Amino acid sequence: MSDLNEKSAFSGLKRKLRVYSCTPVSFIGDESYFSRESGMYSRGLTKLGIESRAVMANPAYAVDFPELLRTDYTNLISPDWWKSLNLDGVILYSWAAPRFNGVAAALRHAGIPFLVQMDTCGLVSRESNPVEWFWNSWERSLHEKSWLEGKALAVLKHGVDGICSIIPRQRAFHYTQATVVTVPTPLGTLWVRNEALMLGSAAVAGKIHYLPHPQDERFAYSGVKKEQLVVSIGRWGVESWPQKNPRALIEAYRLFLRRKPAWRGIIIGAGAAELLRRLGVEPVERLSFVEQVNHEELTDYLNLASVAFWSSRWEGQQGTGAQALCCGCSVVSHGSPLMSCFHHYVSRSSGRLAMRNHAEALADALELESESWDNGSRDPMKISSAWIPEFHATSVARRALHLLGLRDDEK
């Protein structure tokens, strides 16, 4: 890439911009980290010619990539440490969680513009949407814990939070400190703005914008002929069942594949091979299971598939849904507010929502969507072309720079 001093896309720039991403916890810093969210932001910024590293809290791992900067958490809450990096901006993956308010305060006191990325459907508190939050938060709290005492504690926690708004008021500190706050779904963005309005002011709410999580640019439609194939991607270990709802998923496949004998399905992800045995359900004809795959292999599956399908009870931004759209798949899920990303994903002739998160309703939606493919109403190249500019890492990174006031164009 040419020297930005000679040919710059930035107004009045005298040196290369330095914009780092930061996750204030300790994940393994290998390809699994750099192929998603905070690590992917850093890669997207680098492709734009920005000097970027990913900052993460200790402890370190032997497999950490060299572009990762590990540091003690005490540094992350130190304005002087942040000043020492001489940064022009930071993408902070703190999710606006109150336990990371010290990091937000340090960046603000260091005078560094920073973007706080949330990962939520948007129903963050009673203030976001009282009716939807009430019904949907109870549903989630009852599923998150499998034991009775856990359910009781979850219900109590939601009740206290709903009455006192303790956590929302703590989270609002992030909103006041940040230069900009981003939410990964359009509907969720409106709800988070509602919370900010209720707890702060119109000025604070004006900082909150829609911006999806960045996706690896290898996810793109290659032009291969689509097959009559439905895929579902996720984590299928028992600990993920409350969220991923695999029993409804498999039963929906069973009903759908009986009705559409020319179609087949594949469930992909860690724990997939053990799903039938652990759930105690009978095999489903033309439904197969594939353990966790790398991004190249996943891209191949998504290029062949016509439909990508989920029955989750809740998601922030369903990242594999974004990847599927970039690969020219349409998507099927349900219309719960806890799945607000899919209200956006099914736009642009890109899929449909079931009326309920129930096997019969999900199977009906799959059947209708498969018929859209069979009669030529879905165009994979149009789907891919519509979503790549929204989800690919360089596009998301460019919009983040624009929101931070570090770039004068958003294209």
Neighbours of 12 (CB within 10 A): 6
Q: What is the mean pLDDT of residues 230-241?
A: 96
Would you give the distance in Å from CA 97 to the centre of its chain?
Answer: 16
Task: Measure the CA angle with vertex 326, ends 320 and 330; round to 5°.
Answer: 75
Q: What is the pLDDT of residues 154-184, one digit of tens each?
A: 566 666 665 667 888 899 999 999 999 999 9
Choosing among 3.40.50.2000, 3.40.50.2020, 3.30.470.10, 3.40.50.150, the CATH entry for 229-390 is 3.40.50.2000
| Short-list 334, 318, 320, 329, CA closest to 252 | 334
* Tokens read off for 14: 């005298």
| HEC profile of the chain | CCCCCCCCCCCCCCCCCEEEEEECCCCCCCHHHHCCHHHHHHHHHHHCCCECCEEEECCCCCCCCCCEEEECHHHHCCHHHHHHCCCCEEEECCCCCHHHHHHHHHHHHHCCCEEEECCCCCCCCCCCCHHHHHHHHHHHHHHHCCCHHHHHHHHHHHHHHHHHCHHHHHHHHHHHHCCEEEECCHHHHHHHHHHHHHHCCHHHHCCEEECCCCECCCCCCCCCCCCCEEEEECCCCHHHHHHHCHHHHHHHHHHHHHHCCCCEEEEECCCHHHHHHHHCCCCCCCEEEECCCCHHHHHHHHHHCCEEECCCCCCCCCHHHHHHHHCCCEEEEECCHHHHHHHHHCCCCCEEEECCCCHHHHHHHHHHHHHHHHCCCCCHHHHHHHHHHHHEHHHHHHHHHHHCCCCCCCC
Please state whether beta strands 68-71 and 229-233 pair in parallel, antiparallel, or not at all (unpaired).
unpaired
- What is the distance between the alpha carbons of residues 300 and 219, in angstroms, rounded to a whole number? 9
- As a whole number, the mean pLDDT across the chain is 91
| Short-list 363, 258, 345, 36, CA closest to 354 | 363
Segment 272-275 long-range contacts (CB within 8 Å, at least 24 positions apart): 272/236, 274/236, 275/236, 275/246, 275/250
- What is the distance between the alpha carbons of residues 403 and 211, in angstroms, rounded to a whole number? 10
For residue 74, CA distances in Å to 60, 182, 185, 242 come to: 15, 25, 32, 35
Superfamily of domain 19-122+166-216+393-403: Glycogen Phosphorylase B; (3.40.50.2000)
Percent of the chain with pLDDT over 70: 89
pLDDT at residue 162, rounded to an integer: 58
* Tokens read off for 404: 């931070």
Query: Distance from first CA to last CA of the chain, Å, rounded?
Result: 19
pLDDT at residue 11, rounded to an integer: 44
The answer to whether the Cα torsion of 25, 27, 30, 36 is positive or negative is negative
pLDDT at residue 134, rounded to an integer: 80
Return the half-sphere exposure (C-beta side, CA atoms, 13 A cut-off) of residue 403.
Answer: 24
pLDDT band at 2 (very low <50, low <70, confident <90, very high): very low
* Tokens read off for 321: 């849904």
Query: Phi and psi (nearest 5°) for 302?
Result: -70, -30
Q: What is the pTM of this model?
A: 0.91
Residues 123 and 132: beta-carbon distance below 8 Å: yes
Top-confidence residue, 369 or 165: 369
The answer to whether the Cα torsion of 382, 219, 214, 133 is positive or negative is positive
- What is the distance between the alpha carbons of residues 170 and 22, in angstroms, rounded to a whole number? 20
Q: What is the pLDDT of residues 303-353, one digit of tens each?
A: 999 999 999 999 999 999 999 999 999 999 999 999 999 999 999 999 999
Q: What is the pLDDT of residues 188-198, one digit of tens each?
A: 999 999 999 98
* Tokens read off for 33: 């980290």
- What is the distance between the alpha carbons of residues 390 and 326, in angstroms, rounded to a whole number? 9
pLDDT at residue 161, rounded to an integer: 63
What are the structural domain ranges in the chain?
A: 19-122+166-216+393-403, 229-390
